[in-house]
């Protein structure tokens, strides 16, 4: 996985890249789904999304130009694609959120730097990228130098765990800033399908 993913990851230092990828904290799976699989997923999510309007005016929010839903019922084909994602993202037996998050960003939409709430999301975030490529930027919460850009192409799966999930914010760049190593990554409408696990419950283990 990692060798072919490396040209898709640009870190501010080789040591940082090594640290984030070691222990599978950061994983990219280019071409995780095929074109027909993307179509199957889109058939499942489009009807629900079309009923909603893109949210544009909440300037205090992390996400702009988006509509979203939580989805638990999927076609048999989509369910098997999602299971494949869960199988690479979560060890067997890890309690997962049954609702899958579907986020539809319009062409001008973007996601500002944020860390997913530790109240609602556990240590792993696994996303599938549909319809458009984008640049996801990870910024250290602890210093001003550690930064990683991920080229998330259409059909890619990405996984953020551990340090990449907790000690780095993530963002999806707006079209005008969407460059990867100097190359423009044009942003079109993009749909992401995100599986998360449940947060650790204090007291549920011996600590
Ligand atoms: C989020 C998020 C990333 C993506 O919804 O919290 O960071 O790939 N989404 O859409
Ligand atoms: Mn997020």
Question: 5 alpha carbon to ligand 2 midpoint, in Å?
Answer: 21
State whether residue 174 is helix, strand or coil: coil
pLDDT at 206: 47
pTM summary value:
0.94
Atom of ligand 1 lying closest to residue 190 CA: 10
Q: Is the CB of 127 under 6 A from ligand 1?
A: yes
Ligand closest in space to the Cα of 130: 1
Q: Is the CB of 103 under 6 A from ligand 1?
A: yes
Domains and their CATH numbers in the chain: 7-196 (2.60.120.590)
Tell me the pLDDT band of 138, cut-offs 50, 70 and 90.
very high
Average of per-residue pLDDT across 67-95:
96
Q: Copy the structure tokens of residue 19.
A: 């640290």
Burial of 67 (0-12, 13-18, 19+ CB in 10 A): buried
Tell me the pLDDT band of 124, cut-offs 50, 70 and 90.
very high
The string of pLDDT tens digits covering residues 171-197 is 999 999 999 999 999 999 999 999 999
CA angle 154, 188, 149 (to 5 degrees): 60
Q: How far is it, in rounded angstroms, from Cα 135 to Cα 11?
A: 13
- Average pLDDT taken over every residue of the chain: 93
pLDDT at 203: 59
């Amino acid at each position: 996985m990692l060798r072919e993913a490396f040209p898709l990851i640009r870190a501010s230092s080789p040591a940082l890249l090594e640290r984030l990828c070691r222990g599978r904290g950061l994983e990219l799976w280019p071409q995780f789904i095929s074109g027909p699989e993307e179509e199957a997923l889109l058939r499942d999510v489009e009807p629900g999304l079309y009923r909603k309007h893109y949210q544009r005016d909440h300037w205090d929010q992390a996400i702009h130009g988006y509509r979203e839903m939580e989805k638990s019922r999927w076609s048999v084909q989509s369910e098997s694609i999602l299971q494949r994602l869960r199988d690479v993202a979560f060890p067997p037996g890890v309690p997962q959120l049954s609702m899958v998050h579907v986020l539809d960003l319009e062409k001008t939409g973007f996601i500002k730097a944020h860390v997913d709430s530790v109240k609602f999301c556990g240590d792993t975030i696994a996303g599938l990228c549909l319809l458009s490529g984008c640049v996801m930027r990870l910024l250290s919460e602890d210093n001003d130098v550690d930064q990683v850009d991920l080229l998330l192409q259409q059909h890619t799966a990405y996984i953020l765990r551990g340090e990449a999930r907790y000690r780095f914010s993530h963002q999806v760049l707006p079209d005008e800033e969407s460059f990867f190593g100097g190359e423009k990554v044009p942003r079109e409408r993009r749909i992401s399908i995100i599986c998360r696990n449940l947060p650790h419950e204090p007291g549920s283990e011996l600590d």
